[in-house]
Structure 1
Amino acid sequence: MAHQSPVALVVGVTGMAGLSLAKALKQPDCLGGPWKVYGAARHSPDEWFPSSILDSFITFDAVNSADTRAKLLPIANEVTHLFWVTFQLVADEEVKISVNKSMLLNVLTVLKSYPSSPLTHITVQTGTKHYLGPVHDPVQSTKLICHEPPFEENMPRLSYPNFYYALEDLVKSYAPSITYSIHRSSIIIGASPRSAYNMLMVLATYAAICRQVGLPFRFPGNRYTWEHFCDMTDARVLAKQHVWAAVTKKAKNQAFNCTNGDVFAWKSMWKVLCKTFAVKFVDLDEKEEFDLVQFMRDKGEVWDQIVEEYGLHKTKLEEIACFDALVPVFRFEFQLVSSMNKSKNYEFFEYAETFNSVKFWVMKLREMNLIPIYEH
C-alpha cells in the first residue's frame, strides 16, 4: 500500500498558534512533509490573513454539529492529522468545559465517521492554566492553590474544574487507535487580531493609546510580578513542537510543556517594550492604585483615531484587546515558569530568546498593519 502524504486540518487557523502552525507545515523542509493543509475557523479571514499558506480554507462553527458535518465530511477521507488550536471563551468554567469538549467531539465524530478514516493523530493546544486553576474566575482566583513552579508535566491535576482536563480525557479515549499529544504553552506571543489572549497586541494597543493621549505607560501589576520570573512561548516554537509530536513515534500519547526555554522579569521586559513601542519607561509605582481595565474602558474612540491617523487595518479595540485577561497575569504571587526538561529528554530542542521574540512579533504586527509604526 502506498504511503499516504500527510493531510493536516488546523482548527483555529486564524489565531496566533494556528497561523504559525500553518506556516510551519507549508515549509518545504517541514518534518513529515510535504503536507497538505486545510485551515478552519469560525469566521472567514479578511485581508490581514495570508491565505497562500493554506491549500484550502474552511469556515464552520464547531459548536453546531450539523454545520461541522456539512463542512468537514468532504475531507474526512483525507485528514491524517488534526491540530486543535482553538477554544471558546466562556466565563463559567463548567460551561466552558461543556462547550469546548462538544466542539472537539463534533469534529472528531465527523472525521471518524468516514468508513476507513485515515486519522492517525490529534494534537491539542492547552496551557499553563493546567497547573494554576481558574485564574480568570473572579471568585475562585482569590484563593487559588496552584502547583509549585517550575511546573512539570507529571504534576497531578488540581481539584478545580478545567476544560483542558476535559479535552485531554477526550483525546485519550481514542487511543491507541488514534495517538495524541498535548501542548501546554505559557503566554503565547505571535501575530493575529483574532486571538482572544494576544498579550502582545493588548500591550501594543495600550502603549499606542498612552502615547496618543500623553499618559505614562504604567505596569498594571504588583511588585511580585514586576521583580520575579516569568516565561513566554513564541508561536513559532509552539508550531514546531506540534508538528514534531505529530510525527515522532516516541512523542506520541504524551503531554509537553512548551516555552521559549528562558525566563525574564517584567521589570526588564517593560524596558524592552517601552523601547519597542517608543514610549517613556516609568518605574513601578504602587503608591496609587492603577486599574488598567478601568483606564481602557473609554479608550475605544482613541484607538479609532489611531487606526485612522496611521491608516491601519480597521479594528475595534474591544475585538482585539482583552484587558480583563491581562490583569490577573500581572498580579500573580508565584513565578509563572514551566520546565522544558521533558521536551529535551524527548529530543525536542527548539528555543527562542524571549526579548528577540517580542521584537520580531511587534515587527510582524506592524507589517500586518495592525499597530502603528512610529518615527523614532
Structure 2
Amino acid sequence: MEPQAFVALIVGVTGMAGLSLAQALKKPNCPGGPWKVYGAARRSQPIWFPSTVVDHFITFDAVDSSDTQVKLSPIAHEVTHLFWISLQVRQDEEATIIVNETMLLNVLTALKSSTSSKLTHVTLQTGTKHYMGPIFDPVHSTQLISHDPPFHENMARLPYPNFYYALEDLVQSYAPSLTYSVHRSSIIVGASCRSIYNSLVTLATYAAICRHVGLAFRYPGTKYTWEHFCDMTDAGVLAQQHVWAAVTPEAKNQAFNCTNGDVFTWKSMWKFLSELFDVEFVAFNETLEFDLVELMRDKGSVWEAIVEKHELHSTKLEEITCYEALQTVLRFKFQHVSSMNKSREYGFLGHVDTFKSIRFWVEKLRQMKIIPSYHH
C-alpha cells in the first residue's frame, strides 16, 4: 500500500459543511484518499459529533495567534490541504473582516512557517454574499445594489466591504506556493447545531415551538419570495465540491458557485415543511405580516420544555438558530439563484433534489437528537 498522500485540516469541522466534509474525506472511495483528517474547532467536540470522521480533533482559538501556533505547529509538516469552513460574525462588516482575516492569517502562518510545511492547497468556503454585499450589516445593508441573478462567478466585486473578498485576497497573496479554490454556496442545509447560519434548524425550531404552544406556522417572508425562485446547497454536495477542487488540477485558483442544481418556491417549500414538521399548512397572507425575530425573542423557555419533553441534546435556542438571517433571506427583493454552469463546465457534476435533501437532513437532525421527531 502506498503511503498516505493527502492530509486534511478542516477548520470549522463541527459546522454543517465541516462535518459533511470530514465524512466525505473518510469515505474509502474518496478522491485522493484514503485521507488523514485533522478536524479543528473553537469549542470542544460536541456529544453528537461522530468521532470516527476525524483522526484527531483539535480545539484552538484561531483569533489567538499563539494558541494557533501551539496547536498547529505539531502537524504543519503533515497537512497538505487546508479546508477553511470557519466563520465568525461581528456587529458590522468591517469588524467581521478583521476577525475572519485574522483567523485565516494565523492558521496559514502556523502551517506555512514550518520549514517542512507540506501545505499546497486551500479551499475557501464563502457564499452568495459575494454577489449581494454585506446583507446583515446594520448600515451597509440599507443601500445595497446587488448583482442581477442568476449569480455567476465572473461578476465584478461590489463596492462594499465584504469579508469574502478579504479572505480571497489573503489566500491569493500566497501564490504561487499555494493554490486555492473558492466555494460560493447558497443557503446551506446540513446536520449540525454549531453553524452560525442554519436555516433548517431555525425552521425546525420555529415549527416545533408553533406546534408546542398552538401557534400557526406562518410564513415570515414576503409575497415576492413566496412566489419566486430560490436555491439551496446540500452540505454533502458542498463537501464533494471542496474535495473535487482540492484534487483536480483544472479547478485550481478558481471560484465556483455551489448549489443543488435546482430551484424551488418558498410556497412549495412551506407546504413540504409543514408536512415534515407535522404542523398545519397556512397559506401566505399579506395582511398578516409579522416579525419572526420578535415572535421568537422570548421563546427560549418553550424550547427548553421541548428539549426536555423529547429528550433532546441540551441546546439554547439563541445559540442554534438564526432568525434574523432567515428573515433577511425571506424578504429579498430578488430571486436568490446562482448559476452552476461554470462548475459543470469544469467537471463537477454533484447535485441533489432540494426536497429530498431537506427530508434527509431533517431525519439526520432527529437521529442526532437536535430536533424533535413526531411519531404517528
Give how far 1:157 is off: 0.1
Q: Secondary structure at the match of 1:335?
A: coil
Equivalence for 2:43: 43
Equivalence for 1:316: 316
Alignment of 1:1-376 (within 5 A): 5-376=5-376
Q: Which amino acid aligns with 2:126?
A: T
Give how far 1:285 is off: 1.0
| CA deviations over 1:63-82 (Å, ceiling 9, x no partner) | 00000000000000100000
Structure 2 distance, partners of 1:91, 1:342, is: 34
Give how far 1:322 is off: 1.7
| CA deviations over 1:222-262 (Å, ceiling 9, x no partner) | 01001000000000000000000000000000000000000
Structure 2 distance, partners of 1:361, 1:273, is: 12
Verify the 8 A CA contact 2:4 2:34 in the aligned structure 1.
Answer: no
Structure 2 unmatched ranges of 5 or more: none
Q: Secondary structure at the match of 1:126?
A: strand
Q: Which amino acid aligns with 2:159?
A: S
Structure 2 distance, partners of 1:102, 1:139, is: 23
| Identity percentage of aligned residues | 70
Q: Secondary structure at the match of 1:287?
A: helix
Q: TM-score, normalised by structure 2?
A: 0.98
Q: Secondary structure at the match of 1:99?
A: helix
Give how far 1:177 is off: 1.5
Q: Secondary structure at the match of 1:374?
A: coil
Q: Which amino acid aligns with 1:239?
A: A
Q: Secondary structure at the match of 2:46?
A: coil
- Extract structure 1 runs of 4+ deviating beyond 3 A: none
Q: Secondary structure at the match of 1:114?
A: coil
Give how far 1:116 is off: 2.7
Give how far 1:126 is off: 0.1
Using the TM superposition, name which of 188-197 and 133-142 deviates more.
Answer: 133-142
Structure 2 distance, partners of 1:139, 1:117, is: 42
Q: Secondary structure at the match of 1:165?
A: helix
Structure 1 unmatched ranges of 5 or more: none
Verify the 8 A CA contact 2:80 2:118 in the aligned structure 1.
Answer: yes
| CA deviations over 1:132-165 (Å, ceiling 9, x no partner) | 0111123322322000100000000000000000
Structure 1 distance, partners of 2:104, 2:137, is: 23
Q: Which amino acid aligns with 1:232?
A: M
Give how far 1:4 is off: 5.5
Q: TM-score, normalised by structure 1?
A: 0.98
Q: Secondary structure at the match of 1:339?
A: coil
Give how far 1:3 is off: 6.8
Using the TM superposition, name which of 13-22 and 167-176 deviates more.
Answer: 167-176
Give how far 1:341 is off: 0.2
Structure 2 distance, partners of 1:272, 1:176, is: 48
Q: Which amino acid aligns with 2:31?
A: L
Using the TM superposition, name which of 133-142 and 273-282 deviates more.
Answer: 133-142
Using the TM superposition, name which of 139-148 and 317-326 deviates more.
Answer: 139-148
| CA deviations over 1:268-296 (Å, ceiling 9, x no partner) | 00011000000000011110231101100
Cα RMSD for the two superposed structures: 0.9
Verify the 8 A CA contact 2:262 2:354 in the aligned structure 1.
Answer: yes
Q: Which amino acid aligns with 1:224?
A: Y
Structure 1 distance, partners of 2:339, 2:125, is: 17
Give how far 1:100 is off: 0.4
